[in-house]
């Protein structure tokens, strides 16, 4: 489990494709503390992945075919920047919201507007997820916990304050870029409960 509060940005230093699987090596010196072990979970652009090897300043993860199909990891190349967050500890303080690291869909940035106060992103919203994204609710975009400021039938908007722009990769997003979107787990449970009640 994660909180959507990015700890650092990493840089892809190696991409190795083997059959349908892909191994990513990511350089992130500030994340490579002694207690980071093989088998630990790290969210890479919001996707929960397992550390398979580690070096002094980098770690590797294996990306399975389903994850490649559903997320934007398939477009990463050597030099790409990614958002990184280690899994929460049991006694951790949650500053963002509960993020599972299970991506719902790959959205597209349709518009970006910036001023001195914030960067606003307009992101596509498929009809099957419309009920799970609400104004003032939470959503994770490439692993970053954000508040939804507006929703339409086919889009939602989020604002990034200068701090979020500085510590994540979202400030570099351009129109047409694909982003990983995870809707709020609480909304999923509520939608499921309502569906079950409606079936009786």
Start and end residues for every CATH 2.40.30.20 domain found in the chain:
8-86, 105-198
Residue range 44-54, pLDDT digits in tens: 999 999 999 99
Fold observed for domain 8-86: Elongation Factor Tu (Ef-tu); domain 3 (2.40.30)
Kindly report whether the global pTM for this prediction surpasses the value 0.85. yes
Residue range 97-139, pLDDT digits in tens: 889 999 999 999 999 999 888 999 999 999 999 999 999 999 9
Question: pLDDT value at position 88?
Answer: 86
Domain 105-198 has CATH 2.40.30.20: yes
Residue range 151-180, pLDDT digits in tens: 999 999 999 999 999 999 999 999 999 999
Question: pLDDT value at position 186?
Answer: 77
Residue 12 has pLDDT above 80, yes or no: yes
Question: pLDDT value at position 67?
Answer: 95
Q: Which three-class secondary structure string do you get for the chain?
A: CECCCCCEEEEEEEEEEECCEEEEEEECHHHCCCCCCCCCEEEECCEEEEEEEECCCEEEEEECHHHHHHCHHHHCCCCCEEEEEECCCCCCCCCCCCECCCCCEEEEEEEEEECCCCEEEEEECCHHHHHHCCCCCEEEECCEEEEEEEECCCEEEEEECHHHHHHCCHHHCCCCCEEEEEECHHHHHHHHHHHHHHCC
């Amino acid at each position: 489990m994660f909180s959507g509060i990015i700890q650092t940005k990493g840089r892809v230093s190696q991409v190795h494709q083997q059959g349908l699987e892909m191994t990513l090596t990511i350089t992130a010196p500030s994340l490579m503390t002694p207690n980071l072990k093989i088998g630990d979970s790290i969210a890479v652009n919001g996707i929960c992945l397992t550390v398979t090897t580690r070096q002094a300043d980098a770690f590797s993860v294996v990306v399975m075919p389903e994850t490649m199909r559903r997320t934007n990891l398939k477009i990463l190349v050597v030099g790409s920047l990614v958002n990184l967050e280690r899994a929460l500890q049991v006694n951790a303080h949650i500053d963002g919201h509960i993020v599972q690291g299970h991506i719902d869909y790959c959205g597209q940035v349709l518009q970006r507007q910036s001023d001195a106060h914030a960067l606003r992103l307009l992101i596509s919203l498929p009809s099957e997820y419309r009920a799970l994204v609400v104004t003032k609710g939470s959503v994770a975009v490439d692993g970053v916990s954000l508040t939804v400021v507006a929703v339409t039938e086919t889009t939602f908007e989020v604002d990034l304050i200068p701090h979020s722009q500085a510590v994540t990769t979202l400030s570099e997003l351009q129109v047409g870029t694909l982003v990983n979107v995870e809707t709020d787990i609480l909304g999923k449970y509520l939608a499921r409960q309502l569906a079950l009640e409606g079936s009786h």
